[in-house]
Amino acid sequence: MNKKLWLRLGICVVLLGGGVGGFYYLWYAPTIKEDAEQAIQIDQRKRALAELAQSTAGIDDFNRKFKELTEAVRFFESKLPKEKEVETVLDQVWKIAEANSLQAKSIRSGKTERTANYSQQQIDMELAGDFNGFYLFMQQLERLPRLTRIEGMTLSKISDHDGAMQARLILTIFFEPAGT
């Protein structure tokens, strides 16, 4: 073969090699670098989305719990009589005691305590009568539609009668404060 042909073949190989090198450095390498950077950004965004999903996962649970607690507050507020109805509740307790053949030895009202959402008043009661009647009294007191709580109770047997007993109760009545 002649020299001209080898020269032409050499120039073609150099040009092809330069074209491949230029293609690699001018297009392929930057594309690979850009793809790697985008993959890193995608991973960062996926992690951020996962963290966001994890941090907001409790919001639905919180909203559900908040709704449940709001409904519970409404329920208990509906059980609170108005301040002027406290006498009605006391009258109901008195009638329940009489209906179960209990004698009220003494009833003393305590000081009314007020909070932002409710008030409470303690009633110190001393009752005497048959234990079965007292047991029925306690069951009926528990079924009252208004919020009451027994803070303390002392029972003692009256020694000369079988089944006779005396009870001292500290009863708390909850009610809506005036002006709400």
Is the pLDDT higher at 87 or at 67?
A: 67
Confidence of residue 113 (pLDDT cuts 50, 70, 90): confident
| 180 lies in some domain | no
* Whole-number average pLDDT of the chain: 82
Q: Examine the pLDDT at 132 and tell me if it is beyond 80.
A: yes
* Domain boundary, last residue among 35, 58, 78: 78
CB 127 within 8 A of CB 102: yes
Confidence of residue 48 (pLDDT cuts 50, 70, 90): very high
**Structural domains of the chain, count:** 2
The reply to whether 121 and 137 lie within a common domain is yes
* Domain boundary, last residue among 78, 96, 122: 78
Q: Which residue, among 161, 154, 93, has the nearest Cα to 121 in the 3D structure?
A: 93
The reply to whether 93 and 13 lie within a common domain is no
Count, in order, helices (H) and strands (E) of the chain. Answer: 4, 4
Give residue 168's pLDDT: 92
Q: Examine the pLDDT at 175 and tell me if it is beyond 80.
A: no
Give residue 82's pLDDT: 62
The reply to whether 71 and 103 lie within a common domain is no
The reply to whether 8 and 32 lie within a common domain is yes
pLDDT mean over 78-105: 76
The reply to whether 148 and 95 lie within a common domain is yes
Identity at 167, one-letter amino acid code = A
Is the pLDDT higher at 90 or at 24?
A: 24
pTM exceeds 0.85: no
Q: How many Cα atoms are found within 13 Å in the side-chain-facing hemisphere of 98?
A: 6
Give residue 178's pLDDT: 65
Tell me the C-alpha distance between 133 and 89, whole Å: 20
Contacts of 96 (CB under 8 A, 6+ apart): 137, 140, 141
